[in-house]
Amino acid sequence: MASTQAQSERKRRSGSTRRTSRPLIGITTSDHKSFLAWWCDWISVWRAGGRPLRISPARPLRRPVDGLIIGGGDDIGAQRYGGEMQLDVRIDPARDELELELLARYLPERIPILGICRGAQIINIHCGGSLIEDIQTTYRHIRNRRMVLPRKRIEIEPFSQLADILNRRYCHVNSLHHQAVDRPGDGLKVVAHDRDDLVQAIESDRHPFLIGVQWHPEFLLFSRSQQRLIRALVDAARLGAATPRQSPGDDGRSLDRSDDHLQ
């Protein structure tokens, strides 16, 4: 019976994708995200050929998605990675829980996943990695300036999936974060860093498309290279929507968490 239901679901998803040619891309946000920020998410995915679906604690996921973007936002609760509680930052525990459970659900299915800023950090935490809790406090010599325009130069590792997608070794990105990936989690590797040697991107060597970037490509609508990153996710989702999903079994920590509330 379960096998029949799974086959029916695959046929439904495949047929829907062929009809619309727009895979369904879930995008996690907070409940208080501004309209302008969400519009940037929406237009980036739509321009890339996907159908954006907003996911937040107040808008939990009700149907399967073909790809997932873990978006930027508030700090992640320090208890999630063994950090020290800070009273001067805004956190969103309900969103932390939602995104960790989405990763637990979809990593074993091997759908394409892109983490943006906070999203890269929560992917790293889910895989057992750690964070720099506050760049300015930890590295006082670093001038961590916030900038929405692409003025920070980063270096990308050659032969990485990210370098292949962006088709370059160096690029300029924006910077809106005060935390960063410290130790990469299981199965993740650092594939980009800035001039201060802070991690700017991670990717998986076990998953066909699991990338986390510390910047916000969705805000760089005028940048062809940055929009290629969104398009690569959508293209991978379109391809995967017509392919039977892999059953959970070999994705390590991603199988340790429960996703009961998503059923």
**53-76 pLDDT, tens per residue?**
999 999 989 899 999 999 998 888
**pLDDT-based confidence at 85, cuts 50/70/90?**
low
Q: Alpha helix locations (H) across the chain?
A: 2-20, 35-47, 93-106, 118-126, 135-138, 161-166, 224-241
pLDDT at residue 81, as a whole number: 79
pLDDT in tens, 169-201: 999 999 987 889 999 999 999 999 999 899 999
> Where do we find the tokens 């760089």?
220
**pLDDT for 79 beyond 80:** yes
pTM of the model: 0.84
Catalytic residue among 99, 101, 117, 126: 117
Q: Can you tell me the mean pLDDT for 217-241? A: 95
Task: Give me the helix-helix angle, 93-106 and 118-126, nearest 10°.
Answer: 60
Active-site residue flag, 117: yes
Confidence at 243, pLDDT banded by 50, 70, 90: confident
| Homologous superfamily of the 2-127+182-190+203-246 domain (CATH) | Class I glutamine amidotransferase (GATase) domain (3.40.50.880)
At 210, phi and psi to the nearest 5?
A: -135, 100
Give the separation between CA 188 and CA 169, rounded to whole angstroms.
19
Q: What is the mean pLDDT of residues 99-115?
A: 97
- Annotated active-site residue 218? The verdict is yes
Q: Which of 74-83, 89-98, 138-147, 250-259 has the lowest mean pLDDT?
A: 250-259
Contacts of 252 (CB under 8 A, 6+ apart): 127, 186, 187, 206
H or E segment at 21? none
Q: Which of 126, 177, 193, 216 is catalytic?
A: 216
pLDDT grade, residue 244 (50/70/90)?
low
Q: Is 240 exposed, middle or buried (0-12, 13-18, 19+ CB in 10 A)?
A: buried
Close Cβ partners of 78 (under 8 Å, ≥ 6 residues apart): 84, 85, 86, 133
**pLDDT-based confidence at residue 13 (cuts at 50, 70, 90):** low
Degrees to nearest 5, angle at CA 196 with 193 and 199: 30
Mean residue pLDDT of the chain comes to 84
